[in-house]
Structure 1
Amino acid sequence: MPKKEGSAPPTTEIVPRVRALREQIEKIEQESGAKAIAVALRDAETGLELHYHGDRWFHAASTIKVPILLGAFAAINRGDLLPHSRVHVRNRFLSVVENIPFRVESGRDANSAVHNAIGKMMRVDELAYHMITTSSNLATNLLLGVIGSDAVNQTLKELHVDEGIELRRGVEDELAFEKRINNMVTADGLL
């Protein structure tokens, strides 16, 4: 019988592919020299999932920007923000360690457009765009400052996606990093 377009392949085809994928992941882990790796995936068509150390915790780095984006969408949905709400672009943030000020160094940021706008205004949707498409750390901290980490965490909880994601601070907070106060994620949490 011919396979319908868009239909999932039969299990007899899927299982060997998943096994081969898992073997490839194990090979990459062994050959890479990485201290740890984790993979979580879900095939949207078949619902099939693969978890390889999916509950292992990692420093979130830029992956934390996705939960912050969810927090921005939730704030817009609640009416707390509008996509065209204006935010003053500044480069001074308070560390979660004793509220000591810190800055996002322009040389460590992937985007100069937001740094070039310091002292001006940018819209929430522009900051979200730069946070996600160019991984701007400055845009991330500005959005997080407007939304608030408590609101982001509450959004994650309401959406039932809070397990495996811990938002504790803005990005580039080196004092917090030194004290091991970090944003953390698991591969399963990001799935």
Structure 2
Amino acid sequence: MTYLNFKASYLAVALSCLLAIRLSATAQSRQTLPELRQKIETELSRQTGIFAVAFKDLATGKELLIRERDVFHAASTMKTPVMIEVYKQQAQGKLSLSDSILIKTEFKSIVDGSPYTLPVSSDSDSITYKQIGTKRTLASLVYDMITVSSNLATNLIIERVGGPNVTQTMRDLGAKDIQVRRGVEDSKAFAKGLNNSTTAYDLMLIFDKIATGQAVSPEASKAMIATLLEQKFNDAIPAKLPKTVKVAHKTGSIVGVRHDSGLVILPDGRQYVLVLLSKDIKDDKATSGAMATVSEWIYQYEMQGQ
């Protein structure tokens, strides 16, 4: 063997060894799903409150589930099922997104039909209250219901489509535990425990249906995703993700409760569903921060597979 041949052979062996070491290190550094679950449980255990997590990779079908069947007050996450019902009834010819809806603040309790008024002080949307007595399109109300979580828009829509119809549509989609009983601020219903409720699993399921074009139709699902992408409250799932990552999601919060649920779309087109629910919390900001961290970790886990 000549010196040059020996040197070339030596370099080839060295490069092979280096590559093997690097591949081994990469394999060892890749986090498994059980390891990620443990990490998330440890992080959430540091927070005051009860948490549920539901994650599903839509390409592989892999899931990470924590308290996924526990029942939570739905807060504004119920607005996603309401949006699905609007598109369903449009497909059935029962209404049109171009229909005009009269803006009002008085609604009827589901308990006894007695009237109650929705106050602007309880709403994240103040603009619609300035339009009382005028008409808005159903499409614009759906947009505000999702993007700025308008309670007034929500009540107007629920009055139009019917809460029981929303719940039945959830059953038809396979969501067994979501209950949409009423609009917002129905104090008599609240006193009797007649609240809207959900589980992390059911929210994961309906976002899966939206992502895969099975919520009403591919066209309706695409339109719903476009609206969900316009969400204005982004302090949980999207907060610590790169700007190149798109999140089509719906949040929800009342006293002691903070939720986020949606579809995460990676730059390469891969998608996953993530639902983060909480109750009995004491610190909204700390809870949102913990949720943002969990979301970041799940994103990092997904990026391992590139």
Report if TM-score (shorter chain) is over 0.5.
Answer: yes
Q: C-alpha separation between the residues in 1 aligned to 2:169 and 2:45?
A: 37
Q: Point out the structure with the larger strand share.
A: 2
Could you tell me which of 149, 152, 164 is aligned with 2:166?
Answer: 152
Which region of structure 1 is more displaced relative to structure 2, 127-136 or 106-115? 106-115
Structure 2 counterpart of 1:32: 47
Structure 1 residue 160 displacement after superposition: 2.5
**Letter aligned with residue 53 of structure 2:** V
Between 1 and 2, higher relative CO (CA 8 Å, sep ≥ 6) is seen in 1
Let me know the Cα RMSD of the aligned residues.
Answer: 1.8
- What is the percentage of aligned positions where both structures have the same residue? 36
Q: Which amino acid aligns with 2:67?
A: H
1:187 maps to 200
2:95 corresponds in structure 1 to: 81
Asked if the contact 1:164/1:187 (under 8 Å) is kept, the reply is no
Whether 1:19 and 2:34 are equivalent positions in the alignment is yes
Distance in 1 (CA, whole Å) between partners of 2:35 and 2:117 is 45
Shift of 1:41: 1.2
Distance 1:125 1:51, change over 3 A: same
Name the CA distance, whole Å, in 1 between partners of 2:142 and 2:121. Answer: 20
Normalising by structure 2, what TM-score? 0.55
| Superposition map of 1:54-133 within 5 A | 54-133=68-147
Tell me how many residue pairs correspond in the alignment.
178
Identify which range, 98-107 or 117-126, moves more after superposition.
98-107
In structure 1, what is the Cα distance between the partners aligned to 2:68 and 2:116? 33
Matching residue's letter, 2:179:
E
CA distance in 2, matches of 1:124, 1:28: 41
Deviations 1:47-74 (A, max 9, x none): 1111101000000000010110011010
Structure 1 spans left out of the alignment, 5+ residues:
1-11
Answer yes or no: is the 8 Å Cα contact 1:169–1:183 preserved in 2.
Answer: yes
Residue deviations 1:128-169, cap 9 Å, x none?
A: 0000000000000100001111222232223233x1201111
TM score, norm. by length of structure 1: 0.87
Separation (CA, whole Å) in 2 of partners of 1:68 and 1:93: 17
Q: Are residue 166 (structure 1) and residue 179 (structure 2) matched?
A: yes
In structure 2, what residue type is equivalent to 1:173?
D
Q: For residues 12-61 of structure 1, what are the alpha-carbon distances to aligned partners after superposition, in whole Å with 9 as ceiling and x for unaligned?
A: 79x83422331232123321111x11111111122111110100000000
1:140 aligns with 2:146: no
